[in-house]
Structure 1
Amino acid sequence: MSKKQSNPAQGPAAPGRGGALHVSASKLRWGLLIAALGAILAATVTMAVTGFDTDKVEAHQPGAEPVVRDKEFSKAAQGDCLTWSKPDRSDLVKVNCGDKHLFEVAGVIDLSAYPGREFATGTRHPDSLRMTELRDEHCVTAVQKYLGGRFDPRGKYMVNVMSPSPAGWGNGDRTLRCGVQVGGTASSPATTGSIADPATGQSKVHAVGTCLGINQNLPTDPIDCAQPHSVEIVGTVDLGNHFTGGPPSEADQDKYVEAECNRLSSEYLGSPDAIRNKTLTMFFDVLEPTSWLAGSDQLDCWLGKGADREGFAPIVGSARGEILIDGQAPVPPPNSGRSTPAPLPGAAPLPPQPQPR
């Protein structure tokens, strides 16, 4: 994804560009890509977040009553939504998808049907790295099939996999649950609604007033605006209200979203000059064709400050009030990009001359 910026503090408005100078933010475009990679990496390294705790193996004898979490897990079918509250997921339960949940099952994979001895009786539970490989091998396809090919890989959901607990594995359970969860750099937040319902939407947007945390100058998960953060969400643009048919071009999106973000930011802050006076910059994205064809049609308007060395500078406080940028209060720039020169000698009007009689 490419991130654009609109920066009123940089100079006078460009004609017909929504009242603010629009500049291609080439050195910050990598920000969202790195953030997305960070989320993927986090999911890769911490696969146990969605699977079960592989560090604890419960006593579980063949023929004994399965532990609660495996009993619920083994009943989960395609279209079911699951949630839990305990770190070890021992209270995993199926809930209505209209209620808050952490995982939606898109398909069930039976590894015992695959040839070879890797998943045979007596084999060890796969580690996180192997589970990641199994997710990539089976779950991306399962999710696409579940959604009829309408999955937005750059949307708010990410593909993941749930596996039996080590105890369930030891008792012969070789089934995986492929599905989706809301992506996050630290944890998977709860969501409501089934991803299979087009009304749920897959656009990666946040509530107005949300602040995204900051780590190594990059955005992370939502955080209290009183804490150091990278950007603040000042509005959401619905491109579906403006564009119809096929995916809109980047140039057309650019023009429309910039104007809308400038309008929404003025409404959010109460003044069209607030962004400039706080030395902040408006950032926005464009929708890739794959996202548009999957039904995503919304984009956030981000308010932040570019760091001197790539990425974003930390901000404390909501832009609606007093803020600190890198620990310092912002100093409003002069009203004009150029100073007014002093009048030259003799430039003043001549005094009135007496008229001849």
Structure 2
Amino acid sequence: MGPPSPGTGGWYLNPASGQPTWRPAAPAPVPTRRRSTKLVAAVVVGSVVGLAVLAFAATTIVGLVAGDDAEKEPVAAPAPVATAAVTPSPTPLRNARLTQYDYERGKCYFWPFVNDPTPDVDEVPCSEPHLFESVADEPIDLSADFSTIAPYPSVSDWWAISARLCQQTVEAYLGHSIDPHGRIKIEPIIPVLEGWVLGEREMTCGVRVSSSHPRDPVSYVSTGSAKDLDQSRVWEPGVCLNAEGIPLLCEYEHVYVAVGDVVLPGVPGSAPPSDEQQGELIETSCAERAREFFGPSFQELELENLGVMWYPITRDGWEFGNRTISCLIGYVNADGTPRVTTGDPRRGRPA
């Protein structure tokens, strides 16, 4: 698969096939000249799973990818790819101890991330790192839908069950709808297979807030209550992310690094800007954030195929009040597909 001509469109990761797919760019006004840029778009769909907890997310990313040294007229970002249905993660680790705890509405909980057969569940202040925030005092009884001889649901089945039965309770707890592309994720605690065979049919609904901090990739902890935050997907400068948008330490394999935030103008009730308009507002600001992060020599870094990217705010997200975008530096191959790297991006050429 050879690289496309600059300015003709962008690559996106097809969630159905898992393969990079080329899509022509949509016609739009040409923005201000920028050095060495061509456009790229990607779709990544992912979820985080911890023990018996499922979390689901769908994300879209667009951006500008640095090319050769010759100046070219960039084109506007391609029209957004239709977001596919959220794909659940591989089968999660499950633990019977989690289903035996009495969770309370508005309380947050933490347990060891190690594969402990009997982890202790601790109630902690939501201002401290935690793995689960309960949205109800009582679990949901699934026995009306699943008899004692019903087969154990697959991961995709559990995703559908939690979306159908938890979303209303979660949104009542939050006081607003969930942005499907935002930081708040429905996260149920489900029976393990052994408990299911013995007739356990209860599911506890909760939420998790995607962390803005670098974490060990097996922890997935949150800090702060989901009731008190902007749902925008943002990360602190210097945080590295994998292809699913999960923040982790840069020593682990990653494809993006956050370099700073941009707040879009817009009063409550205002019409959301299109992706093209967002690009016009964000492009210069994200380049400035990148220069602040890497230093004045950002444009002269010997990093081929380095891109300034961002997750656009969706129409629903705009209506939910999201106004903040994190600028990301992404690593890509010559054909525009994501490239995995390791190490601190500020210390020369990545591995």
TM-score normalised to structure 1 length: 0.65
The one-letter code of the counterpart of 1:110 is I
Match of 2:226 in 1: 195
Secondary structure at 2:119 match in 1: coil
The one-letter code of the counterpart of 1:248 is P
The one-letter code of the counterpart of 2:234 is V
Cα 1:159–1:247 change in 2 (3 A) is: farther
Residues 211 and 230, structure 1, Cα contact 8 Å, conserved in 2: yes
Deviation string 1:149-207 (CA, Å, 9 cap, x unpaired) is 331110123222112456766787643211222459x756111111112xx22221222
The one-letter code of the counterpart of 2:315 is P
Question: How much is the aligned-residue C-alpha RMSD, in angstroms?
Answer: 3.6
Query: Whose helix proportion is higher, 1 or 2?
Result: 1
Structure 2, unaligned runs of 5 or more: 1-59, 212-216
Structure 1, unaligned runs of 5 or more: 14-20, 55-67, 328-357
User: In the aligned structure 2, how far is the partner of 1:123 from the partner of 1:229?
Assistant: 40
Please report how far the alpha carbon of residue 237 of structure 1 lies from its aligned counterpart in structure 2 after TM superposition.
1.5
Match of 2:273 in 1: 249
Please report how far the alpha carbon of residue 128 of structure 1 lies from its aligned counterpart in structure 2 after TM superposition.
4.3
Match of 2:345 in 1: 319
Match of 2:186 in 1: 159
User: In the aligned structure 1, how far is the partner of 2:64 from the partner of 2:178?
Assistant: 27
Please report how far the alpha carbon of residue 303 of structure 1 lies from its aligned counterpart in structure 2 after TM superposition.
1.3
Match of 1:110 in 2: 140
Match of 2:319 in 1: 293
**Which aligned pairs between 1:1-357 and structure 2 lie closer than 5 A?**
1-5=60-64, 7=66, 9=68, 11-12=70-71, 22-24=74-76, 26=78, 37=86, 40-42=87-89, 45-46=90-91, 48-49=92-93, 52-53=94-95, 69-72=98-101, 75-85=102-112, 86-87=114-115, 88=117, 90-107=119-136, 108-111=138-141, 114=144, 118-119=146-147, 128=155, 130-164=157-191, 174-182=201-209, 187=218, 189-197=220-228, 200-213=229-242, 218=243, 221-239=246-264, 242-245=265-268, 246-250=270-274, 251-271=276-296, 273-274=298-299, 277-279=302-304, 280-324=306-350
Please report how far the alpha carbon of residue 76 of structure 1 lies from its aligned counterpart in structure 2 after TM superposition.
1.0
Cα 1:308–1:6 change in 2 (3 A) is: closer
Please report how far the alpha carbon of residue 101 of structure 1 lies from its aligned counterpart in structure 2 after TM superposition.
0.8
User: In the aligned structure 1, how far is the partner of 2:316 from the partner of 2:346?
Assistant: 35
Secondary structure at 1:151 match in 2: coil
Task: Report percent identity of matched pairs.
Answer: 22
TM-score normalised to structure 2 length: 0.66
Deviation string 1:218-257 (CA, Å, 9 cap, x unpaired) is 4553344345431221112122xx3323243123322221
Please report how far the alpha carbon of residue 84 of structure 1 lies from its aligned counterpart in structure 2 after TM superposition.
0.9
Secondary structure at 1:196 match in 2: helix
User: In the aligned structure 2, how far is the partner of 1:194 from the partner of 1:309?
Assistant: 41
Secondary structure at 1:259 match in 2: helix
Residues 286 and 327, structure 2, Cα contact 8 Å, conserved in 1: yes
User: In the aligned structure 1, how far is the partner of 2:78 from the partner of 2:332?
Assistant: 12
Please report how far the alpha carbon of residue 148 of structure 1 lies from its aligned counterpart in structure 2 after TM superposition.
2.9
User: In the aligned structure 2, how far is the partner of 1:318 from the partner of 1:53?
Assistant: 35
User: In the aligned structure 2, how far is the partner of 1:202 from the partner of 1:167?
Assistant: 36
Secondary structure at 1:162 match in 2: coil
Larger Rg: 1
User: In the aligned structure 2, how far is the partner of 1:203 from the partner of 1:317?
Assistant: 26
Secondary structure at 2:185 match in 1: strand
The one-letter code of the counterpart of 1:91 is D
* Number of matched pairs: 281
